[in-house]
Amino acid sequence: MEKRGLETVLVIGESTLGNPELAYVAGTTIPRGGIFVKRRGRDPILVVSNIDVGSARRGRVRKVQTYTDYHYERLIQRHGRERGYVKLLQSLLRSIGTEGRVCIYGHNDFSRLLSVADSLRRLGYRISGESDTTVIESLRETKDAAEVERIRDVGVRAAKVVRCTLQMLRECKVSAGKLKTKKETLTVGMVKSRINGLLAEHNLMAPEGTVFAIGKSSADPHEFGILSEPVRSGEPIVFDLFPMAADGYWFDLTRTYVIGKPSRRIRRMFEAVLDVQLKSLDSIQHGVPASQIMNHACDTFERYGFKTIRATLKGDRAASRVGFIHSLGHGVGLTVGEKPYLSLLGKDTLRTGQVFTVEPGLYEPKVGGVRVEDTILLRRRRIYNLTPLEKDLTI
C-alpha cells in the first residue's frame, strides 16, 4: 500500500459470490457481503449485517463489526438508501482517521458505486481508481499454501468426474458411428446431465457450464456442445471442465478424446498440442515473462505448420478461426480467469506461488478442435502439476 501511495483500502460487495476481491480479503464466504476496510499500518475491519457475523468470523479478519454498530438502519431511515450508504462509509472512514488516498475494490454495479464515490469526493475524500495491476489483483496473483490446497482438492475431484464420465462412454456400444446405451443413442445432453450429477456427488458445481463439444462444433473453442447431438465415434471430443467448490475456489482442465480411431489429421493436431504443452511446462520458471512462454508456443505450432493468433495480430482475420487462436493460459483461484495471463500482449511475469493453466489448442472448422489443459503450481524453477489425469487421445 505504501509503494502505491494508498492510505486506505475499501473492498465492498453484496456477496462474496461473484466478488473475488471481497472473498479474498474476507477469507471466507459471506452470503450478503459487507465492507472490508484497512488503513495502512492498522488491522483491517470487516463490517457485515447482523445475520452474517457467524460467516464473517470464519474468515481471516479478526475485527468483525455490524452495520448496526454504525447505526446504518437509522441512516437509511433518515437519508434514504443511497445517502445513508454514503454516511455509513463516511463514518467508517472517519472512525479509522482516513485522510489520504482511498481505493475502492470489489465487483459491484458500477453506476451506483460511482455515484457513492463521487459523493465521498465531494465530502473531501481522495477516492481514486487503480489501474493495472490493482493491489488486490497483485495479492491474489500468488497463492498461499492454504489456497493451493483448496485448488488442488478441486482438481482431484474434477479428475474423478472426468474418469467417471469416460467410464460412461466406455460402457456404450458403437453402432453406425454413434454411441448407444442399453436403451438409446447417447447425446451430448445426456453426457452433460451425467457430468452435472458427478460434479454434485463430488460437491462441485460448474456455474459457467462445461464444454463437451464433438466434431465440427469442437472447432469453436467457446461452443459448449450441442445438447441434441449424438456422441459419435471417430471425431474429436473437447471436454473442458471448470468447476467451483463451495469455498469459491476453481479448477480448470481440458482433455480431447476420440472414441475409436482418430483421423490422421486429428492425430497430427494432437501430437502438436501435446508437444507444445510439454515444451511449455518445461520452460516455465520463476521470473520468465508469461508472453515469452506464449510466443514459444506459437513458434512451435508454426514450425509444425499451423497458424497462430500472431497472424491475427498482423491483420490476417481468417486466422482468428484457424490454428492456435487463443492464449496459452490464465491464473486460477477465486476465479477461473485471472492473473497471470499467458498471452501475447500481457505484461505478467511468471512467479513462485502462481497457479495457472497451460492449455494449447488447435482448431479447424472442417475437422474440429484439440485442446489439452492442465492447472499447475509454479514454485521457483519447477512446476507442480495439480491435474492428476492422464492425456490419452483414444478411449
Nearer to its own copies, 18 or 234 (CB): 18
- By the 10 Å C-beta count (0-12 exposed, 13-18 middle, 19+ buried), 266 is classed as buried
Whole-number Å distance between alpha carbons of 328 and 326: 7
Q: What is the largest CA-CA distance in the chain?
A: 75
Nearer to its own copies, 17 or 281 (CB): 17
Nearer to its own copies, 204 or 259 (CB): 204
**What string of DSSP letters covers 224-248?**
---TTSBPBTTS-EEEEE--EETTS
From residue 103, alpha-carbon distances to 123, 128, 298, 301, 357 in Å are 15, 6, 38, 43, 30
Are 40 and 5 in contact, with CB atoms under 8 Å apart? no
> 324: phi > 0 → left, psi -120 to 50 → alpha, else beta; which?
beta
Q: ω into residue 340 within 30 of 0, thus cis?
A: yes
Q: Which of 3, 81, 182, 366 binds its own copies (CB under 8 A)?
A: 81
Site string for its own copies, 328-367 (x = CB under 8 A): ---------x-------xxx--------------------
Q: Which of 115, 138, 175, 394 binds its own copies (CB under 8 A)?
A: 115
Of residues 277-316, those binding its own copies (CB under 8 A): 312-313
Who's near 276: CB < 8 A, 6+ residues apart? Answer: 297, 300, 301, 324, 360
Of residues 10-69, those binding its own copies (CB under 8 A): 12, 14-15, 17-19, 21, 29, 31-32, 50-52, 54-55, 68
Q: Which of 180, 320, 379, 391 binds its own copies (CB under 8 A)?
A: 320
Nearer to its own copies, 67 or 356 (CB): 67
* Main-chain phi, psi angles of 12, to 5 degrees: -125, 145
Nearer to its own copies, 116 or 386 (CB): 116
Of residues 122-181, those binding its own copies (CB under 8 A): 127-132, 134, 136
Of residues 206-235, those binding its own copies (CB under 8 A): 206-209, 220-223
Nearer to its own copies, 15 or 95 (CB): 15
Answer yes or no whether residue 326 interacts with its own copies by CB under 8 A: yes
Answer yes or no whether residue 5 interacts with its own copies by CB under 8 A: no
Nearer to its own copies, 73 or 99 (CB): 73
